Structure 1
Amino acid sequence: MSGSSSSDPRKGPAYNIFWKSVFFVGLFCVIFGLYYATSKVDYVWHWNRIPKFFYYEAEIDIRTEIDGQVSSIKEAGKNSIIVINGEGTSEQYEVPTKEVRVYQGDSVFMGDVLGIKKEWKTGILLQGLYITLKVSAIAIVFGIVIGLLTGLARIAENPALRMSAITYIELIRGSPLLVQIFIWYFVIGTLINKMLERYDISQVPPLWFGVASLAIFAGAYVAEIVRAGIQSVSRGQMEAARSLGMSKFHAMKHIILPQAFKRILPPLAGQFISMIKDSSLLGVIAIRELTKATREAVSTSLQPFELWFLCAALYLLLTFAFSMFVQYLEKRSVQR
């Protein structure tokens, strides 16, 4: 048996080279097929226009706020100070010297452009990427807390805790995330903001209802992952800890949970990667996350191919980075 196993050609270098070649040939065929299909479409690619959706130089008009006359224009370094004298009032504006659009003695009216200044601003895709990161990070933290507490309640001896956890898990997992987002925003959000408005308290922004919907949704799945991880640890571990005089709380904290954590990391990573992608649904409640930002960019630029490919690549970058981080945590937990 050992002789036949060692002579298995699948374990030789030729086997690996062959199948790696198959992979790269297949990948090349997919890329070439995609390129060939797009070349048959009457579409002009404009990748050079993509950077402005991340960072761009905006031209901002500097307008006068009063009616009057330009009494003086004095240079101050690279800028010029424009003084406008009106009826009983006077105002001054600082404008880059090269961008001044008026002359001394000109009559101006409210809203007239005195000059232009240029500022670098973040583009719509970078803003959407930031919102996606923010929403996902906050929802992951709350999802872990909710899932851990619910998972512990799911296996608790107290019937009220156990039945409450089961009810929550079944309700959340039994309805689509999109429906839950609508309920949080249009129902719960409306009720909360109406109550806050009655007492003259500032209203809750839509972003936090989106975070709540994602965290509650993820918490139900995390709870089942935590429950399965805890129950996968042998019962003898708890019995041994209790026999040594440890309380159930300390035994769970120091003995059971550290072992369960190593086992639940992979499914937790999968759940949170899915949640990062599910955050794209928040665009339906006016949260400008990455997908909604891409949709708005497409509608203004008429560049669907470049922008949607870029959107997919950005999501891939986020999920891949999170996956690498979880793999790092797995290695650290194994080393300990």
Structure 2
Amino acid sequence: MSTYRGLDAPKSPSYYMFWKAAFVVVLLGMMGFMWVASSSVEYVWRWNRIPQYFWVEKSVEVRAEEQGTLQEVINKNGAEFVVLEDDGGSRVEQRLNAGTSVTLSPGDYVYMGDVLGSYRISEPGVLLQGLKVTFEVSLVSIVFGILLGVLTGLARISDNPALKWGAITYVEFIRGTPLLVQIFLWYFVAGTLVNNMLQQVGMGPVPAMWFGVFALSMFTGAYVGEIVRAGIQSVHRGQMEAARSLGLNYNQAMRKIILPQAFRRIMPPLAGQFISLIKDSSLLGVIAIRDLTKATREVVSSSLQPFELWILCALMYLLLTFTLSVFVSYLESKAVR
């Protein structure tokens, strides 16, 4: 008859209740500590000002582009125009934005720059715009990083010396240099060269965001390549031998037998790498990409509310990373079945 000792012993219901209660007590203690610490700081908290940085609703003035006497407001092809008669007796039409309320009356004389009316706008604030940029950059970089990482991982285990040595050089260079330096090199060196070449052929410059995506993709691809290599090599080589004995060639065996098994094993480290990628995207502010961190920095400079905004910035990054963690956990559970 087997006996259980130490951590292997069966646990009673009271055991789980005790440690659940201990977790709640520790969590409440940390929350209480944060509350006392924030209350003791000589700082005026202004959380009521935060919503304006999420969503903006304001009135925009419409000013006259010419001077003359206001005649009428007409509707032409679904758009509204204000009609002025200038000093020479000519008819001048100025298009109005949708929803503009004209505050002047026919017969009023209007000088250039006078307010004709106003309209209200409702649009995402600077923080939501920065969150959108961070999400887009991270998503595109993850896709490119996966593609580059899979190719790098396959090259690392290849028998071709050029592919293997090239992959090793790429991985070691990327992992051995800071991401910030790589971003600078992509934007100020490669970016300048590429944009000069495009200018010579009459094309416009590549936006700064794409150089940030390239830098993040190259950085992530090196780490994903090592994760893929380790995942493939963790599958017992007997799996490949069995697949080849069934008549599959190397590519078929890799695609149908080895990679599906390796995929289940590499998902947890991949999730960690992609979470790091989302946080590393905050470095793109150095090349004028208005991501969430840069947008928060701008708002802090103008509002002088550092604590509220940086706490909010951290929570928004947590929203992105936690959502990614839940999604990867879902994929992992589906892959196990």
Category of TM-score, reference length = shorter chain: over 0.9
- Listed as ranges, the matches of 1:164-243 within 5 Å are 164-243=166-245
Q: 1:333 — aligned with what?
A: 335
In the alignment, the residues of structure 2 paired with residue 6 and residue 292 of structure 1 have an alpha-carbon distance, to the nearest angstrom, of 52
Contact 2:83-2:91 at 8 Å conserved across structures: no
Contact 2:100-2:119 at 8 Å conserved across structures: no
2:230 is paired with a residue whose SS is helix
Q: CA 1:7 to 1:293, structure 2 compared with 1: closer, same or farther past 3 Å?
A: closer
Shift of 1:83: 2.2
Contact 2:73-2:81 at 8 Å conserved across structures: yes
Shift of 1:291: 0.8
Q: 1:111 — aligned with what?
A: 113
Q: 1:253 — aligned with what?
A: 255
2:147 is paired with a residue whose SS is helix
Shift of 1:48: 2.1
1:126 is paired with a residue whose SS is helix
Moved more, 86-95 or 172-181: 86-95
Q: CA 1:166 to 1:119, structure 2 compared with 1: closer, same or farther past 3 Å?
A: same
Q: 1:291 — aligned with what?
A: 293
Contact 2:99-2:119 at 8 Å conserved across structures: no
- Listed as ranges, the matches of 1:76-115 within 5 Å are 82-86=82-86, 87=88, 88-94=90-96, 99-115=101-117
Q: 1:64 — aligned with what?
A: 64
Moved more, 192-201 or 48-57: 48-57
Q: CA 1:325 to 1:96, structure 2 compared with 1: closer, same or farther past 3 Å?
A: closer
> Are 1:55 and 2:47 matched, yes or no?
no
> Are 1:39 and 2:39 matched, yes or no?
yes
In the alignment, the residues of structure 2 paired with residue 19 and residue 134 of structure 1 have an alpha-carbon distance, to the nearest angstrom, of 41
Q: CA 1:98 to 1:65, structure 2 compared with 1: closer, same or farther past 3 Å?
A: closer
**Structure 1 length as normaliser, TM-score?**
0.92
Q: 2:11 — aligned with what?
A: 11
Moved more, 104-113 or 313-322: 104-113
1:130 is paired with a residue whose SS is helix
> What's the Cα RMSD here?
2.4
Percent identical residues: 57
Moved more, 64-73 or 271-280: 64-73
- Match of 2:205, as an amino acid? Q
Contact 1:73-1:103 at 8 Å conserved across structures: no
In the alignment, the residues of structure 2 paired with residue 8 and residue 161 of structure 1 have an alpha-carbon distance, to the nearest angstrom, of 48
Q: 2:29 — aligned with what?
A: 29
In the alignment, the residues of structure 2 paired with residue 319 and residue 298 of structure 1 have an alpha-carbon distance, to the nearest angstrom, of 23
Q: 1:321 — aligned with what?
A: 323
In structure 1, the gaps of 5 or more residues are none
Q: CA 1:63 to 1:164, structure 2 compared with 1: closer, same or farther past 3 Å?
A: same
Shift of 1:326: 0.6
Q: 1:149 — aligned with what?
A: 151
Shift of 1:332: 0.6
In the alignment, the residues of structure 1 paired with residue 50 and residue 234 of structure 2 have an alpha-carbon distance, to the nearest angstrom, of 49
In the alignment, the residues of structure 1 paired with residue 243 and residue 300 of structure 2 have an alpha-carbon distance, to the nearest angstrom, of 60
In structure 2, the gaps of 5 or more residues are none
Shift of 1:208: 0.3
Contact 2:141-2:214 at 8 Å conserved across structures: yes
In the alignment, the residues of structure 1 paired with residue 99 and residue 329 of structure 2 have an alpha-carbon distance, to the nearest angstrom, of 55
Query: Aligned pairs, how many?
Result: 333
In the alignment, the residues of structure 1 paired with residue 99 and residue 211 of structure 2 have an alpha-carbon distance, to the nearest angstrom, of 47
Q: CA 1:325 to 1:8, structure 2 compared with 1: closer, same or farther past 3 Å?
A: closer
Q: CA 1:104 to 1:89, structure 2 compared with 1: closer, same or farther past 3 Å?
A: closer
Contact 1:185-1:285 at 8 Å conserved across structures: yes
- Match of 1:19, as an amino acid? W
